[in-house]
Amino acid sequence: MRAVEWDVQDGSLVLIDQTRLPGELVYARCRSVDEVVDAVQRLVVRGAPALGAVGGFGVAVAMLQGAREGWAPGRLAGEVRRIRDARPTAVNLAWGADRVSPLIHRGVEAVLAEADAIMREDEAANRELSRLGADWILARTGRGRVRVLTHCNTGFLATTAWGTALGIVRELHARDALEIVYADETRPLLQGSRLTAWELQEDGIDYVVQVDGAAASTILRGLVDVAIIGADRIARNGDTANKIGSLGVALACADAGIPFVVAAPSSTVDLSTPSGDDIHIELRDGAEVTSLAGVATAPPGARGFNPAFDVTPSRLIDALVTECCVVEPDGVKHVDALVAERP
Ligand code: MRU
């Protein structure tokens, strides 16, 4: 089961519709640019590495639609830009579209082959960073079994397979080195309680769901050994954008003196963004805050403030983990290593 797949027979992008989980496992099909953009913006598909694959396959969707509808020369570039800009914070979406775009002149098969390579490389990266992250956490905490707090969803649903922060959780579980997972529910769209809990349950991993407001207290009460989160964009100085609420978790970890770990494939490291101040934070519809599953949770007319992400400064991060290495950020100089080939 994969969150993102290409249907060769049908020539369409097939996505697990994550808005419908955990109630039902259904798939959405995209055959047009409008459908791709809509799926990205409604979070049918979400999570930075999964969006990287959508960026790649989305270009193929646009090419096939253009051929079907006889688009005028020049239109394709604009349609690819719509996909690439459908959400601004996760660098992977634009990265995926940009990676396949130079192959457009060689035809859709070449673009699809490159998008497939993005899928394969992402899975391999996730598995490798999970090993590196688990090694680091067990060495740092000195514990045989760790209690982990995580925020949002970073599992196979958010990637092409396996997961990043949740990949480390899976790796710890496989080594019998995991005691329990505290999964923040992740308001407003509940990626933690709907998606992370679903993945952990499917894998038989012990977990509890807690409201986001409980995280600081759980950490300061000594119930957690390490917090592990994913990333939407890691800037050149190590500052990291991730789901809103991540910063609060980092502050609590710093106060409690437990490690705060960021895990991501190197495709999420954006060396062209100097610092967190330069990351565009998506502001979503306030109605997502003033309602839950379509039911109003605030008085009529209440306005919601809904930044989808926050930025954790690198000084609050104990380890940045990619498939290349683990860095303990003490400024700009080590971040290059996160994208370097391993010897
Ligand atoms: O708004 P979302 O659900 O796309 O936000 C996702 C996150 O913030 C994830 O933590 C991040 O993309 C990493 S996914 C491996």
User: Is ligand 1 within 6 A of the CB of residue 92?
Assistant: no
Kindly give the distance from the C-alpha atom of residue 89 to the centroid of ligand 1, in angstroms, as a whole number: 10
Atom nearest to 151 CA in ligand 1? 10
- Active-site residues: which are they? 232
Q: Which among 46, 127, 280 is the best mutation to test ligand 1's pocket, defined by most ligand atoms within 8 Å of the CB?
A: 46
CA torsion angle 127 129 131 132 (round to 10): 170
State percent of the chain over pLDDT 90.
Answer: 94
Which residues lie closer than 8 Å to 151 by C-beta, 6 or more apart? 184, 186, 192, 212, 215, 227, 229, 242, 243, 245, 246, 249
pLDDT of residue 335: 78
Q: What is the DSSP string of 248-310?
A: HHHHHHHHHT--EEEE--GGGEETTS-SGGGSPPPB--GGGTSEETTEE-S-TTPPP--BSEE
pLDDT of residue 220: 98
Which tokens is 303 given?
Answer: 């306005």
pLDDT of residue 221: 98
Q: Is the pTM above the cut of 0.85?
A: yes
pLDDT in tens, 136-182: 999 999 999 999 999 999 999 999 999 999 999 999 999 999 999 99
pLDDT < 50: residue spans in the chain: 332, 343
Q: Which domains does the chain have, with CATH numbers?
A: 4-120 (1.20.120.420), 128-339 (3.40.50.10470)
pLDDT of residue 92: 98
pLDDT of residue 329: 79
The residue among 177, 178, 243 whose CA lies nearest residue 215 is 243
* 196 DSSP 8-state letter: I
Atom nearest to 92 CA in ligand 1? 12
Which tokens is 302 given?
Answer: 């209440």
pLDDT in tens, 5-15: 999 999 999 99
Phi, psi torsion values for 32, nearest 5 degrees: -140, 160
pLDDT of residue 341: 65
Q: Which among 41, 129, 154 is the best mutation to test ligand 1's pocket, defined by most ligand atoms within 8 Å of the CB?
A: 154
